[in-house]
Structure 1
Amino acid sequence: MKIYIIKGKVLSAIMVLSTLFTLSCEEDFLDKNPLTEISSPTFWNTQNDADMALAGCYSRLNTSTFNFHSMSFDVLGGEVSRGDGNAQNMALGLIESTSGGLISSVFTDCYKGIASCNYFLANIDKTPISASTINTYKAEVLFLRALFYFTLTDYYGGVPLYTEPFENIDEAKVAQSSKTEVINQVISDLDVAIAQLPNTDYSSSGHAVKGSALALKSRVLLFQEDWSGAAAAAQQVMTDGKFSLSNDFKNMFLKYGQDGNPEIMFSTRYLNPDNSSQQDIQIEWWGAWHPRAELRDAFECTDGLPISTSPLYDPNNFKSNRDPRLEFTLKPFDDPAIKASGEVVDYAYNTPSSTGLMPTKGADVEELPVDYSTKSEQDWILIRYAEVLLNFAEATNEISGPTTEVYDAVNAVRGRPGIDMPPLPAGLTKDEMRARIWNERRVEFALEGLRFGDIKRWKLAETYLNTLVEPDSGTPRVFNPAKHYLWPFPQSEMDVNPNLQQNPGY
């Protein structure tokens, strides 16, 4: 069973509680913060009220920050050209507080989610339902709040930290907390979630579970270079055995392979016709994202060697003898689609690809030909078990080098059924294993929006991104390490919150 926001049901309740779940997209989020008078005798009175309020918190994931638009973060990570939300301009170093686009949307999307979570946590105890149910619901919402705050820290560093609804706008005008303080709150929220959430699979319910929270904790700690903490959280997921690798890599990103999938640990969920997205329209018709040759060339040949050394590599047919994940990730612009029936269908892209490549991951060819009536319902995966394995491998390698456990975790990802890449060679040094893990993350999570965060935390952003030029214009990319590791706070936030200090360089 999935969580869906169905028109006429949940959405109508959210409209009644508009200041609880809806914050204006045009104005600063501070102007529409939940107010105390919403807590009235007409709500928080039944199980149904609690369920609708919980669904409202989950609905905050249905934004560009947490759905297929995440591919625009891969523009910033050097894997893709074009994109939306001004990602291309940002990749050229054109980043200012007035830039709008991603600078504003990530900030707004996350704080809308935080406001809904805080209001839920402040009021759910009023509902006459069992204490155990309330504790589980609180744990789910704390998990969501942790996800929102961690996302903010990855882009802005320290941010204003709110853990309760505020009574008026003036209460919200606070300076940012340090990144360490925000991360401490994230870990605190996740620890409560881990203790209270059921230790079950995720896909059958769509609700965050213990494994979801442990996996997110592992990611958060990995980003802080807390190797032992990241490894321990990942190890607990592995030991609990509630998740495993999917044996159908391609369909894991399509609706056909998502229900009951043992690898999916958390996702933004969709269901036609009332809760749909434009994923196929924008990937298969508008052609919004163009994978770069650098990403294409990162995939090994089937002998486990890079294309620079493998005798199997054919520069005239780059798809031949390559890691199967390459074909499941991207394709030549002119290649047609082949449906399950064997029917060959041409894509009808609006514009040619600037790189000669187009995405295939998450693109449902059964929907072709695509037009404005197309409604996509594939869920956007935010956390999956392969990340847990690679988090464990990376953290453990940093602690003790390439142990047997490190090899086992990486080789499990490489050797999943249907991919069957050869195991890593024995005898790797710690540095060599680190390089292999970094590349494994790159190809495994390609076009899933994770690359930019990875190259920033590895301190590779300035050394890699500044070597790139745009394939259609020859314009060089610009990443200034003195400022671009953090984004500026949107100018609209600076204007209404005089206590907010702008990030350095902006």
Structure 2
Amino acid sequence: MKLKYYISAVLLVTSMMFSSCEEQLNEDVFSQLDPGALFNSANGVERVLFGAYRDAQITDNFGGNIWFQEEWTCDHFWETGGAVNLQATVMLAFTWDASYPTHWTGLWNNCYYSVRNCNLVLENIDQSPIDDATKERLVAEARFVRASAYYILYTMWGPVPLRLSTTGDLAMARATDAEMQTFLEKEFSDVSSVLPARDTPGYQYGRATRGAALGYLTKFYLNTMQWQKCADAAKDLMDLNEYELWPDYTTLFTVDNETRQKEFVWVYPCSTQGPGNEFMNGAFPPQFKSTVDGSIVFKENMRNWARMDRVMDSFYNSFDPADERRALIISEYINTAGNTVSLLNNNNTRSFKYVPDPDAVGNSHGNDIAVIRYADILLSRAEALNELNGPTQEALDLIQEVRDRAGLTTPLVLGDYTKETLRDRILDERGWELYAEKVRRQDLLRHGKFISSAKARGITIADEHHKLFPIPQTEINANPLCEQNPGY
């Protein structure tokens, strides 16, 4: 069974528990929520742990949240229309503050809901009648999910209150940067030796694996610019021999191939029954009927939001015309009147990277959300090697492996690059490979181009304090020891 369907079942059970009639609000219902009763069974442990998975997954859905910060603040995407247009306008213009966009409170809270559930598991699992091997794995899963939630918080806000117990004071100061980095490194490193392999028989797709832990460790080292550790963690993941590039980029993100390919290192599983992938709802252009070649057809079970997520012309035009990855950005389409509509030259092309699920139910498509891909790991090691030693043949070979899959088979030549020019080339390659995967802001920050890129787009107010977001004002009000980020 996929984790996505288990999570859907957990959501259903939970909703039944909380939406029952008045006569059911009795001691039996409350006992289901009491840790002493809940952790007396293996099923109870699983329910709480899957709640933590669920909160992390909802946090990273394309309906909002991380997409807003990681893409709309950068140079690939922009948005108009729909219910989120006011929030998009703020993100695009760098005019956010601690009280707005209000979705920050939801993002912050969902991360801490996930942390809370993981802490509940870690504090109570010893009382559960579970064999030692299973208990060790579940503890590793809880530590992994908790660390992944803190990783999101750290990349958005910097160090945050590090809540590792459900019994601590509500008023808690933020951890230091050193404490935050030490925690994340230790958690991902420790569990990477305990979590099962990707293809462990009977292990549910979508649960934490040793590869996912090494993937997060690679990304953590990359974005904190710990180059040798990044190169080593990436190599450790590669040496697992559990992952490989899917041969066809244009079909990598389809529902049909999500469990066939071995490229997704870590995903948030999505289901048409929810939580679903909502990317395409904002990607469809107005009155979309089909692509010009007829390969994608809008069906009545799908939704086309008023929200319009658009691709910048500068990014679309930066692709080599032979690059197969550009094929997932449509530049024209057939509308419901049967006319061909061009999307070129008005910052209006659309990413169809998550190819629509033909069995979508309303807003929910079943395409799993790729959080870490093997291609990212290859490019991360290439970047780390270049920062350590300058251009090397190994670094170019890693980049070329990704380019070959995109149909760009002319090899890169070692003598054509300096350390600085290869650094810029890697940033470009990451953009072409990983667009719409919510890594662009982190990439621009690491390369020292987040603020300069914004200024080049005419955002004159962009300055250093925008590198971190303001902690939600609701948290500042509730936690007097939590200091706001500078500039807000």
TM-score w.r.t. length of structure 1: 0.81
Q: Is the CA contact (8 Å cut-off) linking 2:196 and 2:210 kept in structure 1?
A: yes
2:477 equivalent to 1:495: yes
Q: Is the CA contact (8 Å cut-off) linking 1:5 and 1:55 kept in structure 2?
A: no
- Equivalent of residue 465 in structure 2, options 468, 471, 483: 483
User: Corresponding residue for 1:76?
Assistant: 73
Q: Is the CA contact (8 Å cut-off) linking 1:407 and 1:424 kept in structure 2?
A: yes
Q: Give the AA of the match of 1:492.
A: T
Change (3 A) 1:61 1:176: same
Q: Is the CA contact (8 Å cut-off) linking 1:91 and 1:479 kept in structure 2?
A: no
User: Corresponding residue for 1:221?
Assistant: 221
User: Corresponding residue for 1:90?
Assistant: 91
Give deviations 1:251-281, integer Å, cap 9, x for gaps.
2212111013100111111223354343332
For residue 59 of structure 1, report the CA deviation from its aligned partner: 0.7
User: Corresponding residue for 1:413?
Assistant: 402
Q: Is the CA contact (8 Å cut-off) linking 2:52 and 2:113 kept in structure 1?
A: no
User: Corresponding residue for 1:425?
Assistant: 413
Identity %, equivalent residues: 24
Two-structure CA RMSD over aligned residues (Å): 3.0
Distance in 2, matches of 1:81 and 1:218, equals: 29
Distance in 1, matches of 2:470 and 2:172, equals: 17
User: Corresponding residue for 1:442?
Assistant: 431
Secondary structure at 1:295 match in 2: helix
Change (3 A) 1:88 1:407: same
2:54 equivalent to 1:46: no
Change (3 A) 1:58 1:456: same
Q: Is the CA contact (8 Å cut-off) linking 1:143 and 1:189 kept in structure 2?
A: yes
Q: Is the CA contact (8 Å cut-off) linking 1:461 and 1:479 kept in structure 2?
A: no
User: Corresponding residue for 1:322?
Assistant: 322
For residue 439 of structure 1, report the CA deviation from its aligned partner: 0.6
Change (3 A) 1:174 1:408: same
Most deviating of 89-98 and 476-485: 476-485
Change (3 A) 1:420 1:114: same
Gaps of 5+ in 1: 19-34, 302-320, 338-343, 469-475
What does residue range 29-44 of structure 1 map to in structure 2 within 5 Å?
Answer: 38-44=33-39
What does residue range 124-139 of structure 1 map to in structure 2 within 5 Å?
Answer: 124-139=125-140
Give deviations 1:12-41, integer Å, cap 9, x for gaps.
5545887xxxxxxxxxxxxxxxx9994444
Change (3 A) 1:353 1:39: farther
- Equivalent of residue 386 in structure 2, options 387, 394, 397: 397
Distance in 2, matches of 1:238 and 1:499, equals: 42
Distance in 1, matches of 2:437 and 2:379, equals: 15
Secondary structure at 2:330 match in 1: strand
Change (3 A) 1:172 1:386: same
Change (3 A) 1:104 1:294: farther
2:310 equivalent to 1:296: no
Q: Is the CA contact (8 Å cut-off) linking 1:270 and 1:277 kept in structure 2?
A: yes
User: Corresponding residue for 1:156?
Assistant: 157
Secondary structure at 2:371 match in 1: strand
> Is the helix fraction higher in 1 or 2?
2
Most deviating of 41-50 and 139-148: 41-50
Gaps of 5+ in 2: 19-29, 285-303
Give deviations 1:218-277, integer Å, cap 9, x for gaps.
100111110001110000111121101111212221211101310011111122335434
Most deviating of 262-271 and 71-80: 71-80
Distance in 2, matches of 1:384 and 1:53, equals: 27
Secondary structure at 2:370 match in 1: strand
Secondary structure at 1:256 match in 2: helix
Q: What is the number of equivalent residue pairs in this alignment?
A: 448
Change (3 A) 1:139 1:288: farther
User: Corresponding residue for 2:235?
Assistant: 235
Q: Give the AA of the match of 2:376.
A: E
What does residue range 345-360 of structure 1 map to in structure 2 within 5 Å?
Answer: 355-360=347-352
Q: Is the CA contact (8 Å cut-off) linking 1:290 and 1:353 kept in structure 2?
A: no
For residue 336 of structure 1, report the CA deviation from its aligned partner: 3.4
User: Corresponding residue for 1:257?
Assistant: 257
TM-score w.r.t. length of structure 2: 0.84
